[in-house]
Amino acid sequence: MKKTIVFVSLLALLLAGVTAQAQLKKRVAVFTFEDKSEQGWHWWSGGSPGEGMADMLTTELVKSGKYIVVERSEISKIMQEQDLGQTGRVTEQSAAKMGQLLGVELAIMGSVTEFGVTKGGGGVRVKGIGLGSNKQSARVGIDVRLVNTNTGEILAADHIAKEESSGGIRVSTPKFGFNNRTDFDNSLAGKATRAAIEDIMGLIENQMQALPWEGKIILVKGATIYIKPGSDAGVNVGDVFTVYSKGEDLIDPDTGISLGSQESKIGTIKVTSMVSGGKAAMAAAVSGSGFAKDNIIRQQ
């Protein structure tokens, strides 16, 4: 009986440790998808498909509660600082570089290859409302790439295509766009887009499980060590992290992306309290010394 109680207690502690680890949220940045669709969307309103789909994906990531999603304003600021504000073009190399500056583990980028509605049969318009017959279909295609910002490696790349169609009497309303989310979600284009976003969410979740969680020391002031992230990422008082110092970066001369660096374990720290707002925390040394800004922290 005692052995059973001991076993159950140990199992409960193990499960509690796994749960605590699973609560730590990883950070992700969603860049605006480039529009490469051959099919024109002059009928569309409320922003480009690339902007709208990136916004939808960002919303779903936030709603999932599993990740810290970088705000679009922070991405725009980095893009301007990196002279990408005019073209808006983001490559795997630049995404990795910006991801490192933003402090995220994963950068999500891609391009819209198809976005449009095709109509069959004839139709008439009465007082601004179109009435038609036969088939109407919407097709959405997205090339999506997930980039490990630490290495610049493309962890996953996929072409996702979705189509929704309807037959019989067709009723079309005036132009609408992503900014009219209710109408959009009920449209064929909206349903196809939503299905594509769901597939991208699955792709992200699979890759994020394999990426190690990381944080950083942002300031050392006396015996107090300030780290990020904080409680907004699931960090709790009492959590213990291993601290590593980075050596010189190995920079790819062709891309300018870091290929990694030598790391040295310098000690462990324990979280003592949270900074107001939850984006940072305070910790104290448990073992080791020489802790400094930009040191990497990882789960033990």
Q: How confident is the model at residue 216 (pLDDT cuts 50, 70, 90)?
A: very high
On whether both 164 and 117 belong to a single domain, the answer is yes
The total of other beta-carbon atoms located within 10 Å of residue 134's CB is: 13
On whether both 204 and 266 belong to a single domain, the answer is no
Domain for residue 3, yes or no? no
Segment 284-293 long-range contacts (CB within 8 Å, at least 24 positions apart): 284/223, 284/224, 284/225, 285/223, 285/225, 286/240, 288/243, 290/245, 290/266, 291/217, 291/220, 291/225, 291/243, 291/266, 291/267, 292/217, 292/220, 292/245, 293/217, 293/218, 293/219, 293/220
On whether both 151 and 193 belong to a single domain, the answer is yes
Domain for residue 38, yes or no? yes
Tens digits of residue pLDDT in 117-150: 776 554 444 344 445 556 788 889 999 999 988 7
Domain for residue 92, yes or no? yes
Domain for residue 5, yes or no? no
On whether both 128 and 256 belong to a single domain, the answer is no
Q: How confident is the model at residue 88 (pLDDT cuts 50, 70, 90)?
A: low
Tens digits of residue pLDDT in 238-282: 999 999 998 777 777 776 666 666 789 999 999 999 998 888 999
Question: Where residue 279 sits, what CATH number does that domain have?
Answer: 2.40.10.410
Last residue of a domain, one of 210, 245, 263: 210
Question: Residue 286: what pLDDT?
Answer: 97
Residue 70 corresponds to which amino acid? V
pTM above 0.85, yes or no: no
Percent of the chain with pLDDT over 90: 40
CB 104 within 8 A of CB 29: yes
On whether both 205 and 252 belong to a single domain, the answer is no
Question: Where residue 32 sits, what CATH number does that domain have?
Answer: 3.40.50.10610
Last residue of a domain, one of 174, 194, 210: 210
On whether both 33 and 149 belong to a single domain, the answer is yes
Last residue of a domain, one of 183, 210, 237: 210
297 pLDDT more than 50: yes
Question: Residue 71: what pLDDT?
Answer: 85
On whether both 158 and 63 belong to a single domain, the answer is yes
Any idea which of 30-44, 59-73, 88-102 has the lowest mean pLDDT?
30-44
On whether both 61 and 187 belong to a single domain, the answer is yes
173 pLDDT more than 50: no
Question: Residue 218: what pLDDT?
Answer: 94
Number of helices (H), then strands (E), belonging to the chain: the values are 6, 15
Domain count, the chain: 2
Mean pLDDT for the chain overall: 79
Any idea which of 58-62, 96-100, 122-126 has the lowest mean pLDDT?
122-126
On whether both 284 and 199 belong to a single domain, the answer is no
Q: What is the arithmetic mean of pLDDT over 59-79?
A: 87
